[in-house]
Structure 1
């Protein structure tokens, strides 16, 4: 079963990696609302199948449609929502807006997890189908179309401008799943199940704690830090916290440690919206969909590659034939990659400036 799930994740991830830049690019030409309708509508189909019946044939139909629709829908709604925000919000406020959107997403995830925990399976799928239908109808009626103008803010603030490092440090006020921060570390669920015999209820508790912490942090804490700190520093802080988070899991000596590590989620959730905000500032007004789509595609590709690398490593060090006793060795390797990303984030403010940036207009 684990092998089937892994293969399915790879198929969906590859499909998403290809589709996200295309969908983002099309939204730049035809509008966000028009393109948003497609994934929101398609995502209803698998839910509706199991809402009708949960026999074997219906499950196979759900499995097939879920695989196909996820290749288009997974991540595209969030990607287009971010592009829509970028169209309608000044670059100086995007970091806060992206963080709030991430907080709302985390809140929705918490509500979905609670619903799945307390509702029967059949009723949960019926409620999910109704909510998804309502979301599409609401979006079509009330959301105004957003097609970027040819002229606008453009690349208003590049990652770096020559001779402005001090300005960036002191005055940078541009800072901007499913599962809490960075979704989930590859192989983490498998590791916790094998190491501490976690069951589905404990996993649900961990996801709820992480989701609640992420919601509070992104909705209330991150907007307060955007202006004084800036998205570049928030990105670095989030990556460093992610590294600490992975280290705590890798050396966890008791089942309560993963619960305690959830406190680090308060800070590590800063990284994704900050990264999106930095990328958004480097793209022109008619390139926001393409920029966000490319980031989503890269994330999907990483979700394909990471299990291929870390799952066998996790299995090896949890087995009796491990080269040395360190059950969390694969997680510490993830921590090392996060530390490399953290070091790279510290260099963002020193990138060479572009001529377009120097001639851009500020909104």
Structure 2
């Protein structure tokens, strides 16, 4: 079942796609400020626009990501993956033409709409594809490699952003995004998902068949017939581990959304950082994340287990934000970025834990369900952190602590860490071997 050749094509596709997305990441704060508040380093309007975009995109992802994952269980990963991949090329093309205020607002509107499908859709379908091609025992390495590819794309994207002028960044991003779609269309192959006798789906109704071919057809029809809310409720209540992982995923994503959206505004106001300095920090973070995901996680995963790696990653995130919030010199954010070596272990560990809780015909809906919950965090994050960031970076702050909102981001990771310490993993095959298997 270990089809690593198929995964290589997926990794190339994801690398090109994320390279495009993350190439613009260090630049977008400067572009936003230049478009809505020219000549200013502090701008509440830019913060609120970023938060509103994140909230709307997250709200859409709550609905769209589980739906896309559910459909991919029936109709295949590649067919569904084409949709978010194509949509993601559109916003880059707008700013590749011009970056005036008018073009920025067109980009802003299209990016908000397409993000509802793209932000969670690409990663949900990709994770399902990884689970289709790798056996349960090797998924910790596969999910680590997948996260490592994203981190590597971020490193190269950030390095390119550091070297390229702003005028060319969005042009290169548009070309890379289109190249990802073309490569995927030509080389990526959908794969059959074999099922083992003991590996009956959680979402399967009472009746079943013993034939492998009939089992495949029946499970496909099951995915089509059962309503999506019923899927999600049944999955969330299928095990204590799944439920705890859902809460951990929420708080992890709450923190990730906060740091991605508001850390740059804090550093710009606190130390007057610009595009190049943002790029340097992201570069340090994702170089360490690439090493961690591709080297440390495959080794430590088999020795310590996903639950231990998850605890380490979440606690490292808390320490990272604690240091940033009290940063007393411009070098502190650079030093704290080295904690990306451990912080990057959290997300792939959650995905691996979830993957092991369900069968092969539930990978799409399971990953979509967790990513939908994570998208809820993208809605909550700006509601919490936008007012805090705007307040504590203004002259009317209740007390002098500009990094208070960043500390609150860290507390989200700390809550997730506390929940993760209660998690014990029992893979789906082990759970079902201890239960009677009912076949008609």
TM-score normalized by the length of structure 1 = 0.84
- Kept in 2, the 8 Å contact 1:153–1:360? The answer is no
Q: 1:227 and 1:307, CA in 2 relative to 1: closer, same or farther beyond 3 A? A: same
Spell out the pairing of 1:257-296 with structure 2 (5 A cutoff).
257-296=332-371
Per-residue CA deviation, residues 306-359 of structure 1 (Å, 9 max, x unaligned), is 121123223333444444443333333333332221121111118999963624
- Kept in 1, the 8 Å contact 2:94–2:103? The answer is yes
Distance in 2, Cα, partners of 1:131 & 1:49? 15
Q: Which residue of structure 2 aligns with residue 164 of structure 1?
A: none
Q: Which residue of structure 2 aligns with residue 77 of structure 1?
A: 122
Q: Secondary structure at the residue paired with 1:110?
A: helix
Q: Which residue of structure 2 aligns with residue 139 of structure 1?
A: 184
Spell out the pairing of 1:1-363 with structure 2 (5 A cutoff).
1-2=45-46, 3-52=48-97, 58-149=103-194, 151=196, 154=199, 182=256, 185=259, 187-349=262-424, 356=432, 358-359=434-435
Q: Which residue of structure 1 aligns with residue 34 of structure 2?
A: none
CA shift for structure 1 position 273: 0.2
Distance in 1, Cα, partners of 2:401 & 2:98? 45
- Kept in 2, the 8 Å contact 1:243–1:339? The answer is yes
Q: Which residue of structure 1 aligns with residue 42 of structure 2?
A: none
- Kept in 1, the 8 Å contact 2:314–2:414? The answer is yes
CA shift for structure 1 position 9: 1.8
- Kept in 1, the 8 Å contact 2:162–2:275? The answer is no
Structure 2 unmatched ranges of 5 or more = 1-44, 202-237, 242-254
Distance in 2, Cα, partners of 1:153 & 1:123? 54
- Kept in 2, the 8 Å contact 1:235–1:345? The answer is yes
Distance in 2, Cα, partners of 1:60 & 1:11? 15
CA shift for structure 1 position 89: 0.5
Distance in 2, Cα, partners of 1:151 & 1:265? 38
Structure 1 unmatched ranges of 5 or more = 162-180
Q: Secondary structure at the residue paired with 2:70?
A: helix
Distance in 1, Cα, partners of 2:395 & 2:91? 41
CA RMSD after TM alignment? 3.0
Distance in 1, Cα, partners of 2:262 & 2:310? 24
Q: 1:114 and 1:337, CA in 2 relative to 1: closer, same or farther beyond 3 A? A: closer
- Kept in 2, the 8 Å contact 1:91–1:281? The answer is yes
Q: Secondary structure at the residue paired with 2:84?
A: helix
CA shift for structure 1 position 113: 2.1
Per-residue CA deviation, residues 116-171 of structure 1 (Å, 9 max, x unaligned), is 33234454333323322222222122211135345567389x9889xxxxxxxxxx
Q: 1:62 and 1:217, CA in 2 relative to 1: closer, same or farther beyond 3 A? A: same
Distance in 1, Cα, partners of 2:136 & 2:427? 20
Q: Secondary structure at the residue paired with 1:348?
A: coil
Aligned length: 342
Q: 1:261 and 1:36, CA in 2 relative to 1: closer, same or farther beyond 3 A? A: same
Distance in 2, Cα, partners of 1:223 & 1:320? 48
CA shift for structure 1 position 260: 0.7
Distance in 2, Cα, partners of 1:331 & 1:122? 31
If each structure's helix is expressed as a fraction of its own residues, which one has the higher value?
2
- Kept in 2, the 8 Å contact 1:155–1:282? The answer is no
